[in-house]
Amino acid sequence: NTDCQEWAEAWNLHNLQIRGEHTRSPRNMFLFSMVRDGPRGLEQSVEPPSEDVEDPGAYGIDWQATDDPQLMTHLLNENPEQSPFASGPPTHSHVLCEPPNSLFSPEQIALLKAVVDVTSPSMGVRRLVWTEAFRICNEFYAYNN
């Protein structure tokens, strides 16, 4: 998520060269367009009709259905997640994921993970990391062949 926000921030601040116009960033173009053309995407909200409700907490509840034990038993049997005591689905889907075949040995993969640091948020550091990782993988591949 942080990566996406950093990318969006960088994109919105980078300069665009549009033929016949000054060099401007997407953020600059958006803000000046809002000033020149007015806000867009904001619609006036319409006030809903006034309706007097005695008990808002009970609004929309079908009391005849809740008083029918047979219907409520069926509802809870067929929809256990709607029980007030349910903490989650009774079973979870299981998806078996086989790891892909690797050109490298488990030792080489462990070495690569130990040597390459992917925790830095800096894009410059990440570029260097991936360049180094690519170089190491090329060495592994040459060694294996």
Q: Is residue 110 part of a domain?
A: yes
Q: Is residue 130 part of a domain?
A: yes
Q: Is residue 18 part of a domain?
A: yes
Q: Is residue 115 part of a domain?
A: yes
Distance separating alpha carbons of residues 108 and 141, to the nearest angstrom: 10
Residue 15 confidence (pLDDT): 93
Q: Is residue 70 part of a domain?
A: no
For residue range 55-111, list pLDDT tens digits in order: 877 778 888 888 898 988 888 888 877 776 666 666 778 888 888 888 888 888 888
Distance separating alpha carbons of residues 116 and 126, to the nearest angstrom: 10
Residue 38, phi then psi, degrees to nearest 5: 90, 160
Residue 16, phi then psi, degrees to nearest 5: -110, 140
CB 62 within 8 A of CB 51: no
- Tell me the CA distances in angstroms from 109 to 47, 104, 105, 126, 139, one per residue in order: 61, 6, 6, 19, 12
For residue range 97-135, list pLDDT tens digits in order: 888 888 888 888 888 888 877 788 788 888 888 898 888
Distance separating alpha carbons of residues 58 and 112, to the nearest angstrom: 60
Q: Is residue 123 part of a domain?
A: yes
What pTM did the predictor assign? 0.32
Number of domains in the chain: 2
Segments forming the whole domain that contains residue 135: 106-144
Q: Is residue 133 part of a domain?
A: yes
Q: Is residue 85 part of a domain?
A: no
